[in-house]
Amino acid sequence: MVKDEANNLSGSFKARRAAISVWDAKRKGYEGVIAATSGNYGAAVAALAARLGLKALIIQECYDSRMIGQPEILEKQRACEAYGAEVVQLTVGPELFYEHLRLLEETGFYNASLYTPYAIAGVETLGYEIAQQCRQQFGADPAVVVATNAGGGNLTGTARGLIKAGLKDTKVYAASVDLSGLSMASDLDFNKKSFTTGHTGFGVPYSTYPDRSDVPRNAARPLRYIDRYLLVKQGEVFYTTEMLSALEGMERGPAGNTSLAAAFALAQTMDKDDIIVVQETEYTGAGKHPSAQLSFAEEQGIHLIIGDSEEEIPGKNIILPDHPSRIKVRDLDMDRLHTSALRHLVPEDGDVRESDLEYIAVEINSSIAETKLLIEEMREEM
């Protein structure tokens, strides 16, 4: 099953994510709201701010040093401006969050960050609705909910909503586009990728160290809720996007179909009566359409090939599968993610207090005994 979030105001699940923050800004008498985003969230903040009569300032990382911007990001800029927001565009680099914080001081606007508790609470409605609708339509709970994972708020909020609805046995799987080898902060790599979100460049570091964001404590803590982490290739997501359009008549943006590509492969490994829910879709448009993104990739020297997905090399080529059987289930090593997270949570020297150990175990979705063992192994490697 697919939860079609493209029907939300602003065209993605991000409308849920913006709703409570914008409402809170209005309630507290702020003149406007600010958000740092590649675009979908910015459009959501702008749309909901316009509805409540607030100003919106969106800070967007969209160009490399040659001032070349990806069509998907520029499409999102147009959406933000169409809803009445002022958009500040930056080149790739560490200044995105710096500019966000600087402009907060300068304007006195409300911080509608992606990573505040309000933003995550808004997404909880998505998980709660998935639980309600599955029970109403099928009299059953989903076996698996697959969520595209980038900064972690999408997965965190959905998982918390499922838990609040009482779904204790439903597994939550993360899905990201495999962009191994590309650096998200690199000017050279910025336009070599065809996905601005939902990829490992955000999904992995934000899972293991969520507090790298623009708030002191990030409310998106995906590693607490991930039961399994699946990887898909860029070409597989483009293929799945076309498949969804041709077979179901649903033309949706590729980034939102990351989890659908993973679910397509996963479905072939599960029981016939199991229910898998693909947790969101997003709208498509001129710049977000696969044809625009693939044409841009070719202009950047990326080779477009039809063949074996396993041979895809991020930054070098995009391989569209020559048969749907090429779309495979690939697991990211969860133990490796847990160990990486522990390096940020555990001091190299000194004992870990029992209360801290309880917190750390929750952070990595593990038992205290298993967490102790991982800490010991990590220190031995050091």
Condensed to tens digits (0 to 9), the pLDDT of residues 68-116 reads 998 999 998 999 999 999 999 999 877 888 999 999 999 999 999 999 9
- Compute the mean pLDDT over every residue in the chain, rounded to the nearest whole number: 94
Kindly tell me if the per-residue pLDDT of 376 is higher than 90.
Answer: no
H or E segment and range at residue 307: strand 303-307
Integer Cα distance of 172 and 175 in angstroms? 10
Closest CA to 208 of 233, 231, 226: 226
Span 28-54, mean pLDDT? 95
pLDDT of residue 185: 80
pLDDT(57) > 80? yes
Tell me the CB-side half-sphere exposure of residue 265, using CA atoms within 13 A: 25
Residue 377 has pLDDT above 90, yes or no: no
Which pair of structure tokens corresponds to residue 1? 């099953």
Per-residue pLDDT at 29 exceeds 90: yes
**Local structure of 33: helix, strand or coil:** strand
pLDDT per residue as tens digits for the range 125-143: 999 999 999 999 999 999 9
Q: Which of 256, 253, 240 is nearest to 199 (CA)?
A: 256
Per-residue pLDDT at 269 exceeds 90: yes
Task: Give the pTM.
Answer: 0.95
Residue 348 has pLDDT above 80, yes or no: no
What's the pLDDT at 308?
A: 97
What pLDDT band is residue 351 in, cutting at 50, 70 and 90?
A: confident
Residue with tokens 């995105």: 96
In order, the DSSP letters of 90-130 are EESSTHHHHHHHHHHHHH--EE--TTSHHHHHHHHHHHHHH
Burial code (b: 16+ CB inside 10 Å, e: under 16) for 243-277 equals bbbeeeebbbbbbbbbbbbbbbbbeeeeeeeebbb
Q: What percent of the chain has pLDDT above 70?
A: 100
